[in-house]
Amino acid sequence: MTEGTAETGAATGGVNILLRLEGLTLFVGMVMLYAAWDGSWLVFALLFFVPDLSFLAYLSDAKFGAMVYNAAHSYMAPVALLTLGFGLASPLTLSIALIWLAHIGIDRALGYGLKYSAGFGFTHLGRIGRQRGA
């Protein structure tokens, strides 16, 4: 069995809906915290799509692309950054973490999940793009 078949399984049905609602909740929560924090909306706009630059790693190959994209779209680094920002009382660090988590949240809400090495369109939330109907 090759990756791209059973090894690129995706959440379906109610689980998929729940994961997408979690993403929406994360997005809304982080935007609300950012607003309460009184963060700069210019900084928000400038940094919001920065994690998507990770897709450029796909120019190398799908396996490396998936690894870099997943690193930029996993909760681990921004939550660590958020914790560090609180610990150091660093407004910039907190702002970056909130923006990063908001980005991940809206991606998940829209169905852009973590990637399998079979290609950019194969995610844990289902297929996207041209692979969707395949």
Per-residue confidence (pLDDT) for residue 1, from 0 to 100: 37
- Domain annotation covers residue 31: yes
Per-residue confidence (pLDDT) for residue 2, from 0 to 100: 42
pLDDT at 41 over 90: yes
- What confidence category does residue 129 fall into, taking pLDDT thresholds of 50, 70 and 90? confident
- Domain annotation covers residue 100: yes
- Count of domains for the chain: 1
Per-residue confidence (pLDDT) for residue 4, from 0 to 100: 43
Q: What is the pTM of this model?
A: 0.90
Q: Which residues pair with 122 in a beta bridge?
A: 127
128 vs 113: CA distance, rounded Å: 9
Give the pair of three-digit tokens for residue 10: 């995706």
- Domain annotation covers residue 133: no
The mean predicted confidence, pLDDT, of the chain is 91
- Domain annotation covers residue 75: yes
Closest CA to 36 of 25, 24, 28: 28
Could you give the C-alpha distances from 99 to 52, 89, 106, 113, in angstroms and in order? 13, 17, 11, 18
For the chain, percent of residues with pLDDT exceeding 90: 81
- Domain annotation covers residue 114: yes
